[in-house]
A and B are shown apart, each in its own frame.
Chain A
Amino acid sequence: MSQQSHSTVVDVSGVEKSFGSGENQIHVLKKVNLQARTGEILMLVGPSGCGKTTLLSAIAGTMQVDAGQVNVFGKPLHQMSGGALTKFRGDHIGFIFQQFNLIPTLTLAENVAIPLLIQGGGNSESIKRARAVLEMVGLGDRWKERPNKLSGGQQQRVAIARALVHEPPLVICDEPTAALDAQNGEIVLELFRNVARSPERAVIIVTHDNRIFSYADRIARMDDGEIVEVKEQSPSEKPHFEHEHTI
């Protein structure tokens, strides 16, 4: 993957974030610089408490930073108001959470349709589109079921469908395989590579699951609030996929 053919969509520079005050103040991010590009899967890795999730929150626009700049698709998130940030997230970002966060009282299709409904889409059109995306993740025939009928791996596939249904240019994943066993984790990652990846889309994954590192195009290693290493993975380091396709 050459850097020239892919544009930088996330540009984090000099970002600082701390929690608490006085003696109890903890510096979670210390002048962090990071870029993410379209067409790549970037993994943020590191030990627990190193600041991965905080950095992800800053990139997702769910948390304001204390200092530095967070530019996503050229928009300065660090300067945007709460309302503008909310709209920006709805329009540009797909979320995949560690615990899936599917609403148990809604059907799979209704869960997947939520981002479209947030954008103001009509109910029937949104459900139709949601069913199509569920089809792509292999759950098309179960669109009427509720999440609690599914295994963890299947629920994460629904979450992936929900993250992609409104075709966001940036997908943010927080520990997507943490709640899954090895087999399901691999299935989800393979699916992820197939459906989430697109030349116009950037994917950022926070994980400390070293089983999935091989799926990354680049790995940014964090420690104690700093990016200590950004490593580009060569094709030989990555697993081989016979049937790659994108949506």
Chain B
Amino acid sequence: MFGLALKMLFGDTAKYLMLVAGLFFATFLIVQQASVFCGLMRWTTSTLKNVPAPIFVVEERVEQINETNPLRDTDVSLVRSVSAVRWAFPLYSGIQRVRVTDGSFKTVQLLGIDSSSLAGAPARMKEGKLEDLRIPNTVIIDELATTRLAHDPDHPIKIGDVFEINDIEARVVGICEAMRSFTGGPYIWTTYERALQYTPPSRKMLSAVICAPVEGIDANAAAAEIERKTGLRAYVNDNFGKNPRDKKKVGKDDKPFYGDFNTSTVWWYVRNTGIPISFGTTVVIGFIVGIAIACQTFYAFVLDNLKHLGALKAMGMSNFRLSLMLIIQATTVGIIGFGLGLLATSGFAMGAIKNAQPPFYMPWIIPVVAFGVIQLICMIAALLGIIRLSLYEPAMVFRA
């Protein structure tokens, strides 16, 4: 019987395609926009991904990695004095201007790391040696910088090329892999001392202290210890959501310990920018488009077939089986529309990955939730049909 239900569905080609198209667009809008939002949020934490240190110590009011309330240089020693800390080094992080060979300026995310330990250096080098960063006036750039800072995109920057950061020469000694920054600019690594030279001077310049816990001590416990002993804010550099905000009340003065810097950063952008509302609106529009098209079309499909469904009812088919038929029809178009929508989103993702923009990150939860949303839309559509059908008296089938 359910095979016949599907034949009835597929047989009405116009409505079937309309249903699939509606659910396809709904899926595409929901999944694509949610993934771009997640990608953008991931970009906000790119410094944390590009500087692989277990703990970041920052000024106590700092809530996200792209916000800088400079520390005193002596704070590095203060952090080192905490017994739970194995090592601690300074980190400079700031947006600077680079003058490229044609005289134009590009903004970059400049990172200054400790020259002796090179703690905070890029994890994956593509070309060159990390140690060459100790040579005067040298930098390591990411892959994006090779084209972004080049005069001609067909002739990307290579090792040995020179450009200027705030009128000071910078020679490229290495090219690395890195995640793109939230501002869209490339990452450039240099030593901490040289980063201070590249940067217009101010009273305090230290962006953060990066450190690691003593072996055998959990990073969260070490961070809590740092907060207690120094009065600074210490965040662990874990994955988003691993240490949700306010979960651990181990901070000083019973203040909530913010835990993971990634989570804290993302939540800061969610709370303080219009990004979630902007993307959320599109996701809601996707839902509304899906509801509107699917419900309207499916209801029209039921109305068109009402006399046939009524005849089935008169011939002895129960309301339960008729409802199941409608649910199977709705679920089937839902699965097909969702599959096509996900396929289109994958195509979009491939393009985004190839061009390195727009940001695209699709954790498994997005397609799972989107599938649930699409099925919810289909169930609402089916429910409308079921209600209409249940009100249809089988005797009405005798009326011409």
Contact = CB atoms under 8 A, between A and B. Distances in A.
A90 B317 contact: yes
Contact of A97 (B11, B12, B311, B313): B311
Interface stretch (B1-9, B194-202, B353-361, B367-375): B1-9
Contacts of B393: 62-63
A57 B8 contact: no
B391 interface: no
A156 B281 CA distance: 54
A105 B16 CA distance: 12
Contact of B316 (A90, A110, A123): A90
Interface residues of A, number: 35
B314 A62 contact: yes
A97 B397 CA distance: 8
A175 B398 CA distance: 9
B394 interface: yes
A118 B312 contact: yes
B395 A62 contact: yes
Contact of A99 (B3, B307, B312, B317): B307
Nearest to B9: A105
Interface stretch (A30-38, A81-89, A214-222, A227-235): A81-89
A170 to B, nearest CB: 12
A98 interface: yes
Interface in B1-45: 1, 3-4, 7-8, 10-12
Nearest to A102: B308
B365 interface: no
Interface in A171-202: 174-175, 178
Contacts of B278: none
Contacts of A98: 398, 400
B400 A117 contact: no
Interface string B374-399: 00000000000000000001110111
Contact of B312 (A60, A105, A114, A178): A114
Contacts of A57: 395, 398
A174 B398 contact: yes
Contacts of B308: 101, 103
Interface residues of B, number: 29
Interface in B282-321: 305, 307-308, 310-319, 321
B318 A86 contact: yes
Nearest to A117: B1
Given A117-B1, A118-B1, A95 B315 contact: yes
A123 B315 contact: no
Contacts of B400: 98-99, 175, 178
Interface in A88-131: 88-91, 93, 95, 97-99, 101, 103-106, 110, 114-115, 117-119, 123
Interface of B: 1, 3-4, 7-8, 10-12, 305, 307-308, 310-319, 321, 393-395, 397-400
28 contacts: A54-B395, A60-B395, A62-B314, A62-B394, A86-B319, A89-B315, A90-B315, A90-B316, A91-B316, A93-B315, A98-B398, A98-B400, A101-B307, A101-B397, A103-B4, A103-B8, A105-B7, A105-B10, A105-B11, A105-B12, A106-B11, A114-B4, A114-B315, A117-B4, A118-B315, A174-B398, A175-B400, A178-B400
Given A57-B398, A90-B316, A117-B1, 8 more contacts: A62-B393, A82-B319, A88-B316, A89-B315, A98-B400, A101-B308, A105-B12, A118-B312
Interface of A: 53-54, 56-57, 60, 62-63, 82-83, 86-91, 93, 95, 97-99, 101, 103-106, 110, 114-115, 117-119, 123, 174-175, 178
